Amino acid sequence: MKLFRFVLAPLALAAFALGAVACGDDDGGDGKSVTVYSGRSESLVKPLFEQFTKDTGIEVKVKYGDTAELAALIAEEGSKSPADVFFAQDAGALGALRAEDSFEKLADSVTGLVAADYRSPDGTWVGVSGRARVIVYNPKLVQESELPDSVKDLTDAAWKGKVGWAPTNGSFQAFVTGLREVEGEDGAKAWLEGMLKNEVKSYQDNKSIVSAVAAGEVELGLVNHYYLFGFLEDQGESFNARNHYTAAGDAGSLVNVAGVGILKSAPEKDAAGKLVDYLLGESAQKYFSEQTFEYPLVSGIAADSRIKPLSEVKPPALDLSDLQDLQGTLALLRSAGVLK
């Protein structure tokens, strides 16, 4: 049994319900269109695709959906998949398809634009934007000197009932997958159980946590770094929340990426290559920096000045492709009593 089918096939049926690829029939390798399966939301990346079409004349046909479900669908479709490019929300799904030998090797001139930590070691996928896990905190309730150096400290009695998380959220589950790699299965389970014992409060998503922290419902929350900056843009610097990065090597400072790979079965490899080039180009990288407050991954493009430079973030030493075992993480979350 293939690894990918073992890990993700239960999601495949749901993936088939995601709907047909937008626009008309594939026109068979004429370079006039490229088909993308995108785990990144339409509201986020549609402007990029529209600009790519304006700049190149290449139409982008998109199937939007959950990253893990789209990856499972690609595996099910095999060589008959209409997809040219997989645009994943996180590296784990890219790693799963890499394990299936689904991707073309990208040119060194493409992968070389991105630091080795944020691309596949064999050159089959490349990150296009990054996001760090942080602890968002309420500065009126917590002094900076009191903030923990590690997410492991959040099980201490001092934080009882004062921390929020979003256990059904994909970014939290990717973090737990990283935690399993850093601390081992037993260590990760012990932390999850310790958090429950310490009366952690559950929220639907990252935005809800940031809002709850600012409102004083909880003092700390586990989120991706960029959510705070949407609130700061809308409500100003008086918004009552700030980000804290944990110590070097701590799972709480995991950096994950959104990334792309070109499928070996891609009918439109040339057009796919042009889209990958575009996503790593100056225009798209500035979009990620200025509009979504993510980390651009190509050198020479600066992140928002309010965000800690990526070079100063010290995440755990992981091959991001190893964050592929979502089913194992879901099983652990159920075993620990976090999910039912």
Angle subtended at Cα 162 by Cα 157 and Cα 167, rounded to the nearest 5 degrees: 105
Indicate whether 319 pLDDT > 90. no
Superfamily per CATH, domain 3-129+257-306 = Periplasmic binding protein-like II (3.40.190.10)
At the fourth CATH level, which superfamily is domain 131-254+328-335? Periplasmic binding protein-like II (3.40.190.10)
| 4-12 average pLDDT score | 40
Is pLDDT of 27 > 50?
Answer: no
Token reading at 111:
């992968």
Helices 42-56 and 282-290, axial angle in degrees (round to 10): 160
Residue 90 clears pLDDT 50, i.e. is over it: yes
In whole angstroms, give the CA distance from residue 63 to residue 46.
11
Mean pLDDT for the stretch of residues 208-223: 98
- pTM for the full predicted model: 0.87
Asked if residue 250 lies in contact with residue 150, where contact means CB atoms within 8 angstroms, the answer is: yes
Residue 20 sits at the vertex; the CA angle it makes with 18 and 21, to the nearest 5 degrees, is 110
In this structure, the chain runs to a length of 340
Average pLDDT score over the chain: 90
Q: Is the pLDDT of residue 13 over 90?
A: no
Domain residue limits, the chain: 3-129+257-306, 131-254+328-335
pLDDT of residue 17: 40
- What would the mean pLDDT of 86-115 be, rounded to a whole number? 95
pLDDT digits (tens, 9 = 90+) for 140-171: 999 999 999 999 999 999 999 999 999 998 88
pLDDT of residue 85: 98
* φ, ψ for residue 291, nearest 5 deg: -105, -35
Do 3-129+257-306 and 131-254+328-335 share a fold?
yes
